[in-house]
Amino acid sequence: MKVLNDFNFEDKKALIRVDFNVPLNDNFEVTDTTRIQAAKPTIIKVLEDGGSAVLMSHLGRPKGERNANLSLGHIVDAVSDVIGVTVKFVGDCVGEEAEKAVAELKSGEVLLLENLRFHGEEEKGDEAFAEQLSKLGDIYVNDAFGTAHRAHASTTVIAKFFPEAKCFGYLLAKEIEAIDKVMATGEKPVLAILGGAKVSSKITIIENILDKIDDLIIGGGMTYTFIKAQGGKIGDSICEDDKMELAMEILEKAKQKNVRVHIPVDVIAADAFDANANTQVVDVDKIPEDWQGLDAGPNTLQNFKKVILASKTILWNGPIGVFEMEKFAAGTIAVGDYIAEATKAGSFSLVGGGDSVAAVKQFGFESKVSYVSTGGGAMLESLEGKTLPGIAAILD
Ligand X SMILES: O=C(OP(=O)(O)O)[C@H](O)COP(=O)(O)O
167: which strand partners? 141
218: which strand partners? 194
The 3-state secondary structure of 167-232 reads EECHHHHHHHHHHHHHHHHCCCCEEEEECCCCCCCCHHHHHHHCCCCCEEEECHHHHHHHHHHCCC
Q: Which does 19 bind (CB under 5 to 8 A by kind): ligand X, ligand ADP, none?
A: ligand X
Flag whether 19 is marked binding: yes
d(CA 378, CA 160): 22
Provide the minimum distance between the beta carbon of 188 and ligand ADP in the complex, in angstroms, as a whole number. Answer: 25
- Determine, following the binding rule CB under 6 A, whether residue 62 of this chain makes contact with ligand ADP: no
Q: Which does 198 bind (CB under 5 to 8 A by kind): ligand ADP, ligand X, none?
A: ligand ADP
d(CA 133, CA 111): 14
Q: Which does 41 bind (CB under 5 to 8 A by kind): ligand ADP, ligand X, none?
A: none
Which one of the listed residues 12, 13, 17, 35 is annotated catalytic? Answer: 35
Provide the minimum distance between the beta carbon of 266 and ligand ADP in the complex, in angstroms, as a whole number. Answer: 13
> Is the backbone peptide bond immediately before 264 cis, with ω within 30 degrees of 0?
no
> Is the backbone peptide bond immediately before 189 cis, with ω within 30 degrees of 0?
yes
The residue from 62, 232, 318, 375 that contacts ligand ADP (CB under 6 A) is 318
d(CA 165, CA 151): 19
Provide the minimum distance between the beta carbon of 226 and ligand ADP in the complex, in angstroms, as a whole number. Answer: 12
Q: How far is CA 81 from the centre of its chain?
A: 24
- Give the largest Cα separation in the chain, rounded: 70
Task: Based on the residue annotation, tell me whether 108 is a catalytic residue of this protein.
Answer: no
Q: Which stretch binds ligand ADP (CB under 6 A): 122-130, 176-184, 197-205, 276-284?
A: 197-205
Which one of the listed residues 125, 146, 354, 390 is annotated catalytic? Answer: 354
- Determine, following the binding rule CB under 6 A, whether residue 238 of this chain makes contact with ligand ADP: yes
Helices and strands of the chain, counted as H and E runs: 14, 15
Provide the minimum distance between the beta carbon of 196 and ligand X in the complex, in angstroms, as a whole number. Answer: 14
Task: Based on the residue annotation, tell me whether 169 is a catalytic residue of this protein.
Answer: no
Residues that bind ligand ADP (CB under 6 A): 195-198, 201, 220-221, 238, 293-294, 318-319, 321-322, 324, 354-355
The set of catalytic residues is: 35, 198, 354, 377
Which parts are annotated binding residues for substrate?
19-21, 35, 58-61, 117, 150
Which parts are annotated binding residues for ATP?
202, 293, 324, 353-356
